[in-house]
Amino acid sequence: MAKDREKDQKEKKMFVGIAWNCAAELKFLLTALLFLCSLATVLQFLPSRFSLSSSDLRDCLSRLSTAAAAITNTSDVDAAVVKKVLAPPPLPPPASPSPPSFQQDQVLEGGIIKRGFNPYGAASYNFILMSAYRGGLNTFAVIGLASKPLHVFGRPTYQCEWVPHLSTQLQSVTAVGYKILTDWGYGHVYTVVVVNCTFPVPVGDDGSGGRLVLHASTNGGGDRKLNLTDSFEALTEAPGSLNVSYFTSPPKYDFLYCGSSLYGNLSPQRVREWLAYHVRLFGEKSHFVIHDAGGVHSAMLEVLRPWMEKGYVTLHDIREQERFDGYYHNQFMVVNDCLHRYRFMTKWMFFFDVDEFIFVPRKSTIRSVVDSLSDYTQFTIEQMPMSSRLCLSQDAGKTFRKWGIEKLVYRDVKRGIRRDRKYAVQPRNVFATGVHMSQNTAGKTTHKTEGRIKYFHYHGTVAERREPCRQLVNTTEVTVDGVPYVLDTTMRDAAGFVKRFELKMVGSILQRTRQ
């Protein structure tokens, strides 16, 4: 008991000492840093091997900065917990992290030539943080990019740490980060990683605030000799900012659309049609999240603007991710950010593209359809591929005045082709998501939705800014380049309603929209 009290007092002293007067540690660390930097700088001036210090510097500095982080990080937590989380000791002796020397070839006893290998620089980041969201009282999702070969050939690990706000004097809590690779098989320099941080106990649930720190370790991925750990803050919760009822309250929306990365010179008219059509379909309790990876040029923004002003659309500018080379403008990262960001704000979440139009048959509504599927966490939707170039002869001379969904009326009926599906989920049961479906859900998935819901796909029509009609046809069936088509006026028949709906909702402002 006496021992415990002594320990408690010591800890308190330590806490006060560090929190209110960290000058001693600061001085020590600064001195160590300066010493190392000086050493490194001097090394650079040695005439023979001037640039060995570039990578070595990084090594020693990363060690030091990790140590520094350890202190800042954990000044208010139990030292034993800290040690488990952070491998390097909190205060390394200034002489010990000496830079590894340049490896020269050596001739060993018996004439064996021991060859040296010398690494320089860095070709990719370990982790690129996009966002982190709380998913409940004890769980979080961290969304970002990580080095692709690190995940394919190495075994990087993630450790989560909840660091309570300074004022609470609570201990920090740690958990193994469960990584989900949502675009496995894709990716370039970087691949998308969703790290699920689920702690054994609720954290910060009293609203006292805190920080979620992610420790990302390479485990020798780029160099088997080194296990580099990068520790960074993924999320900060200010005291009083947490609303615990958020996770159990009925969601604000019935339907939320998570769009993929928009890129290129897209057609404003096609997106105008798409938006009016789907706001009408999904109704008042719906919302559309659009991601601009460079595709929302000024004419496109004009189309979005009236719907943004009416509160139907939120536009995310994600152009900065273009810095990091991943699969198709990092679309897998973007949809996962959307999932977790809006997870508690909608009953259903839809994932499809802006050249695709969801359709439910007459006598049903989108609401009656999802209600009939409410036992499922996820359902997928069948594709109706539409020609992006065949139009009706009767539209000759007036195609430019007609909407895309009005004039493109020939459906590809070639059999035996596996066609992509799109999908919708009840996001509270989903942990990560892909582009064609999610493979990380709690609850059932169904693909048996034929006759209840489908989508018309006008492939390639959004990516170009010219009149799509290339060939006019006056029969109900036609075969072009070996592909059989049939006349399908389902969407054409809806066009008039959609036009009147748009006029009613946003006025005539969009009527001069160009291809």
Nearer to a second copy, 66 or 433 (CB): 66
- Pick the stretch among 50-58, 88-96, 277-285, 382-390 that binds a second copy (CB under 8 A): 50-58
- Pick the stretch among 5-13, 21-29, 240-248, 409-417 that binds a second copy (CB under 8 A): 21-29
Nearer to a second copy, 93 or 121 (CB): 121
Smallest gap from Cβ 252 to a second copy, in A, equals 17
**Segments of 386-482 assigned E as strands:** 390-392, 410-412, 422-425, 430-432, 440-441, 444-446, 454-457, 471-473, 477-480
User: Binding residue for a second copy (CB under 8 A) from 8, 9, 13, 38?
Assistant: 38
- Cα distance between residue 256 and residue 279, in whole Å: 11
User: Binding residue for a second copy (CB under 8 A) from 179, 280, 297, 316?
Assistant: 316
Question: What are the CA-CA distances from residue 29 to residues 32, 38, 59, 64, 71 (Å)?
Answer: 5, 14, 16, 8, 11
User: Binding residue for a second copy (CB under 8 A) from 225, 362, 415, 466?
Assistant: 225
Nearer to a second copy, 217 or 449 (CB): 217
Closest to 388 in 3D by CA, of 429, 356, 341: 356
Nearer to a second copy, 214 or 432 (CB): 214
- Cβ burial 194-205 (10 Å sphere, 16+ → b, else e): bbbbbbeeebbe
- Pick the stretch among 172-180, 308-316, 361-369, 495-503 that binds a second copy (CB under 8 A): 308-316
- Pick the stretch among 85-93, 260-268, 312-320, 364-372 that binds a second copy (CB under 8 A): 312-320
Site membership for a second copy, residue 324 (CB under 8 A):
yes
Are 300 and 259 in contact, with CB atoms under 8 Å apart? Answer: no
Q: Show the tokens assigned to 95.
A: 């002489």
Site membership for a second copy, residue 387 (CB under 8 A):
no
Residue window 464-493: x/- pattern of binding to a second copy, with contact defined by CB under 8 A:
------------------------------
Q: Show the tokens assigned to 320.
A: 């900065």
Residue window 189-218: x/- pattern of binding to a second copy, with contact defined by CB under 8 A:
x-----------------------x--x-x
| 3-class secondary structure, 424 | strand
Place of tokens 């949809």: 335
Nearer to a second copy, 296 or 373 (CB): 296
Nearer to a second copy, 2 or 112 (CB): 112
- Cα distance between residue 351 and residue 422, in whole Å: 6
Site membership for a second copy, residue 26 (CB under 8 A):
yes
User: Binding residue for a second copy (CB under 8 A) from 22, 81, 360, 413?
Assistant: 22
Site membership for a second copy, residue 320 (CB under 8 A):
yes
Smallest gap from Cβ 413 to a second copy, in A, equals 38
Are 218 and 227 in contact, with CB atoms under 8 Å apart? Answer: yes
Question: What are the CA-CA distances from residue 435 to residues 50, 56, 143, 321, 373 (Å)?
Answer: 49, 41, 15, 18, 20
- Pick the stretch among 34-42, 82-90, 398-406, 476-484 that binds a second copy (CB under 8 A): 34-42
Smallest gap from Cβ 29 to a second copy, in A, equals 6
Site membership for a second copy, residue 463 (CB under 8 A):
no
Interface residues for a second copy in 131-190 (CB under 8 A)?
A: 131, 146-150, 152-154, 156, 166, 188-189
Q: What is the DSSP string of 249-318?
A: SPPSEEEEEEEEEE-SS--HHHHHHHHHHHHHHH-TTEEEEEEESS---HHHHHHHHHHHHTTSEEEEE-
User: Binding residue for a second copy (CB under 8 A) from 11, 17, 44, 239?
Assistant: 44
CB neighbourhood size of 363 (10 A):
6
Smallest gap from Cβ 256 to a second copy, in A, equals 15
Q: How many residues bind to a second copy according to rule CB under 8 A?
A: 98
- Cα distance between residue 140 and residue 236, in whole Å: 12
Site membership for a second copy, residue 360 (CB under 8 A):
no
**Parallel, antiparallel, or unpaired: how do β-strands 173-181 and 190-198 relate?**
antiparallel
Are 175 and 118 in contact, with CB atoms under 8 Å apart? Answer: no
Smallest gap from Cβ 449 to a second copy, in A, equals 33
Site membership for a second copy, residue 41 (CB under 8 A):
yes
**Parallel, antiparallel, or unpaired: how do β-strands 113-114 and 346-351 relate?**
unpaired
Q: What is the phi/psi pair of residue 343, to 5°?
A: -60, -35
- Pick the stretch among 67-75, 262-270, 399-407, 430-438 that binds a second copy (CB under 8 A): 67-75
Site membership for a second copy, residue 223 (CB under 8 A):
yes
* Number of residues that make up the chain: 515
Smallest gap from Cβ 73 to a second copy, in A, equals 6
Q: Show the tokens assigned to 292.
A: 């601009």
Residues with Cβ < 8 Å from 493, sequence gap 6 or more? none
User: Binding residue for a second copy (CB under 8 A) from 78, 230, 382, 395?
Assistant: 230
Residues with Cβ < 8 Å from 249, sequence gap 6 or more? 344
Smallest gap from Cβ 198 to a second copy, in A, equals 22
Q: Enter the DSSP assignment of 459.
A: T
Site membership for a second copy, residue 345 (CB under 8 A):
no
Smallest gap from Cβ 66 to a second copy, in A, equals 8
Helices marked H in 342-385? 366-372
User: Binding residue for a second copy (CB under 8 A) from 50, 246, 400, 497?
Assistant: 50
Nearer to a second copy, 149 or 202 (CB): 149
Site membership for a second copy, residue 118 (CB under 8 A):
yes
